[in-house]
Amino acid sequence: MKQFFNYFKIPFILIAIMIIVCIGVRISKSGSTEITRTNEDTDLTGNVFDYAENLTDAQERELDELISSIEDRVKCDIAVITLDRSLSLEGYKSQPSQWVMEYADDFADEHKMGYDKAYGNSIVFIDNLHREERTGRVYSWISTSGLAMQTLSQSDCEEIMDVALADLDDYSDEDDYYAAYSQVIRLLPSYFEGGSVKALKVLKPLYIVIFSLAVALIYVLFNWSSKVGDKTTKSTTYVENGRPTITHQGDVFLRKSVSKVKIETSSGSGGHISSGGHSHGGGGHSR
């Protein structure tokens, strides 16, 4: 019996790990609480701030309604801001590509945005149509905080805008802008409800058992032949001219040499502190 368990120890370890993961997921899910809208400190009464007048009044209302429905799905306050002016005179000390970032962060802080609390779960998307003279580029940004900062990485934010804003140019009209901004909002739930969240939904005990057994079976099939020992000795192996011969081999430790190499790593968090002293994440886009 001991040999049996020793032979199958790796499959057993894999099954045990998967069971522990499944139990941990179940415990974490059962202990989680539903996020509700409890922020009464924000002074915002709408979601769309079309200072550039990219949208018609009807489109603003439709976009506002769309955002309201998405907010309840992703549990984040969401604001869409459009500008058509240079931010070079706003007192920002960063590069032109980061001016929209600072504007979006400041907007969230000044209005105490957050689905759950002030400075809590929020997303601010800003599109500034002004083509900065220093770079000749138009800049957009998605600012995140709270749950949104934990869920959306810098590359996620950039990917959303790369897809949604791909067709915008200096000749875009109201319909083009409405379609682009709507797509930014509609893409958000796929990141909150996908990835690890989606994995938790499909991680059921039955699937764990089936997967573990499949791994164990594959392991046995691929390693069965390697466990069959070959006969390597016989009665005359250690006999030469009628006398036994045994060759001794050994290793002699001569010296020890240790070398150290520093491995550079990147935090990859993408987070930063706004001028208001609050943590934000996000990503940018230019065209």
Looking at the structure, tell me whether residues 70 and 174 fall in a common domain: yes
Looking at the structure, tell me whether residues 87 and 60 fall in a common domain: yes
DSSP assignment string, 10-79:
HHHHHHHHHHHHHHHHHHHHHH---------------SEEETT--S-HHHHHHHHHHHHHHHHHHTSEEE
Looking at the structure, tell me whether residues 120 and 186 fall in a common domain: yes
Looking at the structure, tell me whether residues 167 and 85 fall in a common domain: yes
Q: What is the largest CA-CA distance in the chain?
A: 107
**Is 236 among the domain residues?**
no
The yes-or-no verdict on residue 33 having pLDDT over 60 is: no
Instruction: Report the 10 Å Cβ neighbour count for 62.
Output: 15
**Is 259 among the domain residues?**
no
Q: What are phi and psi of 75, to 5 degrees?
A: 60, 40
Q: Tell me, what CATH number does 162's domain have? A: 3.10.310.50
Sign of CA dihedral 134, 140, 146, 149: negative
- Per the structure, the count of domains in the chain is 2
Instruction: Report the 10 Å Cβ neighbour count for 189.
Output: 13
| pTM greater than 0.85 (yes/no) | no
The yes-or-no verdict on residue 247 having pLDDT over 90 is: no
Local confidence band at 94 (pLDDT 50, 70, 90 cut-offs): confident
Looking at the structure, tell me whether residues 181 and 163 fall in a common domain: yes
Write down the residue that tokens 């790990």 correspond to: 17
User: Per-residue pLDDT averaged across 222-236, rounded?
Assistant: 59
Looking at the structure, tell me whether residues 127 and 54 fall in a common domain: yes
pLDDT digits (tens, 9 = 90+) for 205-221: 555 667 666 766 776 66
Looking at the structure, tell me whether residues 27 and 163 fall in a common domain: no
**Is 266 among the domain residues?**
no
- According to the model, what pLDDT value does residue 11 have? 64
* Helix ranges restricted to H, the chain: 2-7, 9-31, 57-74, 96-110, 147-151, 154-164, 174-192, 195-202, 205-223
Distance, in Å, from the CA atom of 128 to the CA atom of 118, rounded to the nearest integer, reads 26
Smallest Cα–Cα separation from 35: which of 130, 147, 128, 125? 147
Looking at the structure, tell me whether residues 210 and 149 fall in a common domain: no
User: Per-residue pLDDT averaged across 103-108, rounded?
Assistant: 97
- According to the model, what pLDDT value does residue 114 have? 97
Looking at the structure, tell me whether residues 27 and 65 fall in a common domain: no
Distance, in Å, from the CA atom of 77 to the CA atom of 147, rounded to the nearest integer, reads 10
**Is 178 among the domain residues?**
yes
**Is 18 among the domain residues?**
yes
Read off the amino acid at residue 89.
L
**Is 230 among the domain residues?**
no
User: Per-residue pLDDT averaged across 68-82, rounded?
Assistant: 97
- According to the model, what pLDDT value does residue 223 have? 66
Helices 205-223 and 9-31, interaxial angle, to 10°?
Answer: 160
Write down the residue that tokens 């739930």 correspond to: 189
What's the distance, Cα to Cα, between the start and end of the chain in Å? Answer: 68
**Is 212 among the domain residues?**
yes
Looking at the structure, tell me whether residues 54 and 158 fall in a common domain: yes
Looking at the structure, tell me whether residues 19 and 140 fall in a common domain: no
Residue 101 is part of which domain span?
48-193
Q: What are phi and psi of 279, to 5 degrees?
A: -80, 135
pLDDT digits (tens, 9 = 90+) for 139-165: 999 999 999 999 999 999 999 999 999
Residues 6+ apart with CB under 8 A from 284: 97, 98, 100, 101, 139, 140, 141, 142, 157, 158, 161
**Is 62 among the domain residues?**
yes
Q: Which tokens sit at 65?
A: 């309604």
Looking at the structure, tell me whether residues 73 and 149 fall in a common domain: yes
